[in-house]
Structure 1
Amino acid sequence: MNVIIYLRVSSEQQANRELSIPAQREALERFAADKGWTIVDEYIDEAKSAKTADRPEFQRMIAAAQQSDKNFQAILIHKFDRFSRSREDHIVYKALLKKQDVSVLSASEPTEPDTPHGLLLEGMLEVISEFYNMNLKHETIKGMKENAIQGFHCGGRAPYGYRLHRSGSRVTYVLGPDEEIQTVKLIFQWAAEGTGGKKLARMLNELEASRGSERRWSPSTVLSLLGNHAYLGYRTWNKKSEVNGCKNDPNEWIMAKNCHAPIISEQLWQAAHEVLSTRKILKPK
């Protein structure tokens, strides 16, 4: 039988030698040789999560399986979670492949897909894989929530005017260059005086040019900075949903105060946002 092999490793797993691409390839080649199968091609997705089927080589492999002149009868993988960690994707893509007379076989989790017991075992392995993925995500979010409550950094870049500082396993913000700090104060001061986003961006670009800097400000960047509570010394997390990326209700935000040195005062923040709120009300839709 001719087979193709599919190899995948996520960015989090790349340091794991047992799951590395060479280790997977060696295991699949050895398994195929023992069975007397011929490997005719391979598809590799590196640093790709199996939470979604939106993987370039995975999709190219599925497309190849749908060709009438394909020269293979099965896809060989190391474990079923290399194929996908989504039960739904397992069902959809395996059903599609079955119509093309292509089987999905695992070297380390061998099953007999054409028997009731084999089908049951394969389904159980897929469910366990999805459970592991969902549970890991839940535990990660729980850890990030606790991290945020204590006022520590939960990923991403530091806001303009700050830099990241690591102490052991914890990351906090420290003040950045004085030039950036003064710029942040100017932005809030100008906003409190009634300057709109477009004019603010223009004034900032003129300021940057006078400094010989190539940095360019846009109105959206300025307004995003004005809405960042980090400048008050707060640490805010969960503004956006981890599931769909949509903005969460402010009541769901986790906000810790006095986490790092503030750049502006509460009074200046309030003054700037009172003006911004007024401009939003007066601006025609």
Structure 2
Amino acid sequence: MKRAIRYLRFSQLGQSNGSIERQELYTDQWLAFNDVTLIDTFIDRGKSARTFDRPDFNKLREFITKHHSSVDYLLVDQLDRFSRDAGEAMSLVKLLQQKYNIQIVSVTEGITFDYNTPGSFFRAGLQLLLAEEDNINRSIKVKGGIYTAKAKEGRFVYKNAPFGYTKQGERKDRKLIINESEAKIVRFIYNSYLGGTPLYLIKENAISMGFNRKGNMAVERVFNKSRICRLVER
């Protein structure tokens, strides 16, 4: 009789353990249907699939190194439980098959990974690439959501305060307040520009007034700050 180990994972501790129970159910069904004996289970709770450096996944690899001769399959619910890094995942599953003669099975996707079978290789690679793309999209949305939430609350989201402002408060609730001495320079730059003063003269006068930002485009960047209107209107 064939023998298998399985790997179960969910990424956020706030998720329900029902995620693990569901993965157990689907892998149990596959085991029963294919008449395969389960010899061990490895579970990572609240661990991201961006890296293979996870406690139980490391235990799984140690187990395979010692007991690979008694294992035919490594079961996962879906390939993204295994990893969301397509290149790293493909290399590892290839190693498991070629070095240890263990095949990875994605039970809900119906894929038995076989590096030597073009159709299986393509399907597994496609699923891993889709998982990695989904991970990238999630990261972009999370970062965008954090930025939007902070901006709506008036919290400062950049490392350095723009010229004309000073950071105030602890990191979590940090906001910008107007630095009046710098704001006068910003108003001078803006009004001089509107009045047709050559840019090189604006730069010279701004520096003499205390404009201390470095770089050839430092003054030009003042015009690109979204908060400039607050300084000019005062």
TM-score, normalised by the number of residues in structure 1: 0.53
Return the alpha-carbon distance in structure 2 between the equivalents of residues 261 and 43 of structure 1.
Answer: 42
Asked whether the equivalents of residues 150 and 157 of structure 2 are also in contact (C-alpha less than 8 Å), the reply is: yes
Answering whether residue 21 of structure 2 is matched by residue 14 of structure 1, we say: no
CA positional deviation for 1:95: 2.5
Q: Deviations over 1:176-200 (max 9, x none)?
A: xxxxxxxxxxxxxxxxxxxxxxxxx
Task: Verify: 1:140 aligned to 2:135, yes or no.
Answer: no
Q: Which runs of 5+ in 1 are unaligned?
A: 153-234, 240-249, 268-285
Hey, which bits of structure 1, 4+ residues long, moved more than 4 A?
A: 255-262, 264-267
1:221-260 deviation digits (Å, cap 9, x = unpaired): xxxxxxxxxxxxxx33243xxxxxxxxxx379xx998998
Render the CA deviation track for 1:51-95: whole Å, top value 9, x for unaligned. Answer: 111101001101211225642111001000110111122123212
**SS in structure 2 of the partner of residue 236 of structure 1:** coil
Aligned CA RMSD, in angstroms, stands at 3.1
With over 3 angstroms needed to count, the CA separation of the structure-2 counterparts of 1:10 and 1:238, relative to structure 1, is: farther
User: Which residue is equivalent to 1:51?
Assistant: 50
The reply to whether residue 109 of structure 1 matches residue 29 of structure 2 is no
2:207 aligned partner: none
Residue 22 and residue 112 in structure 1: after superposition, are their counterparts in 2 closer, same or farther (change >3 A)?
A: closer
Which residue matches 2:22? 23
Task: Map residues 59-98 of structure 1 onto 2, 5 A cutoff.
Answer: 59-67=58-66, 70-98=69-97
8 A Cα contact 2:161 2:167, kept in partner:
no
Q: How much does 1:146 deviate?
A: 1.7
For residue 9 of structure 1, report the CA deviation from its aligned partner. Answer: 1.0
Bigger proportion of residues as helix: 2
Q: How far has the Cα of 1:100 moved from its partner?
A: 1.1
SS in 2 for 1:237: coil
Structure 1 residues 132-191: Cα deviation after superposition (integer angstroms, max 9, x where no partner): 010010111112122222235xxxxxxxxxxxxxxxxxxxxxxxxxxxxxxxxxxxxxxx
- Within a 5 Å distance, the mapping from 1:1-285 to structure 2 comes to 1-11=2-12, 14-15=15-16, 17=18, 20-67=19-66, 70-98=69-97, 99-114=99-114, 115-151=117-153, 235-239=155-159, 250=160
Unpaired segments of 5 or more residues in structure 2? 181-234
- How far apart, CA to CA, are the structure 2 residues paired with 1:261 and 1:119? 50
- Secondary structure of 2:44's partner? strand
Query: If the length of structure 2 is used for normalisation, what is the TM-score?
Result: 0.64
Decide which structure has the larger Cα Rg and report it: 2
